[in-house]
């Protein structure tokens, strides 16, 4: 817009979309002119990101803020958000993988002592649990 500056002494009306500050519109007598930034390698930013970056730099004690610093701050904030999103996704995925490992409600099937006495004893030698000879057990000793 340098060609427009100094050509006329009047003020021009600028319009922009707060969702994309990479384009501004200048209202002139000939119509509307769309202006793009001189450095096209810069990413498009929102007004909210720009304000958040300036606020962050001001809180960090920066008095003078230039374009390079603002864009570096916005990139850092975007990376922080992307990292948080990835961690959140990973956390949800991890929880979903472990959901089946959650302890289930245990049902107590131990018979009452009173109920055990009322049950008839199996015929023959009495209780099969009491008359079972047991299992052979190997004993291992550590020589330490």
Could you read off the pLDDT of 45-56 as tens digits, one per residue?
999 999 999 999
52 and 92 co-located in one domain = yes
Answer with the one of 101, 123, 138 that is the final residue of a domain.
Answer: 101
Residue 127 domain-assigned?
no
Angle formed by the axes of helices 67-98 and 47-59, to 10°?
100
Residue 23 near residue 17 (C-beta atoms within 8 A): yes
CA distance 39 to 23: 12
92 and 59 co-located in one domain = yes
Q: Which domain holds residue 89?
A: 47-101
pLDDT band at 40 (very low <50, low <70, confident <90, very high): confident
3-to-22, 26, 29, 52 alpha-carbon distances in Å: 19, 13, 15, 32
- Position 121 scores a pLDDT of 60
Task: Domain count for the chain, please give it.
Answer: 2
């Amino acid at each position: 817009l340098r060609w427009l500056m100094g050509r006329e002494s009047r003020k021009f009306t600028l319009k922009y979309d707060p969702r994309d500050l990479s384009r501004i519109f200048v209202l002139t007598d000939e119509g509307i002119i769309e202006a793009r930034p001189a450095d096209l390698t810069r990413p498009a930013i929102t007004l909210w990101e720009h304000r958040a970056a300036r606020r962050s730099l001001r809180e960090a004690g920066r008095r003078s803020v230039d374009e390079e610093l603002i864009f570096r701050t916005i990139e850092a904030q975007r990376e922080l958000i992307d990292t948080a999103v990835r961690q959140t996704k990973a956390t949800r995925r991890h929880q979903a993988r472990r959901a089946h490992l959650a302890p289930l409600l245990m049902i107590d099937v131990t018979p009452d002592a009173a109920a055990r006495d009322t049950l008839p004893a199996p015929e023959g030698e009495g209780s099969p649990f009491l008359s079972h000879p047991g299992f052979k057990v190997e004993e291992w000793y550590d020589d330490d």
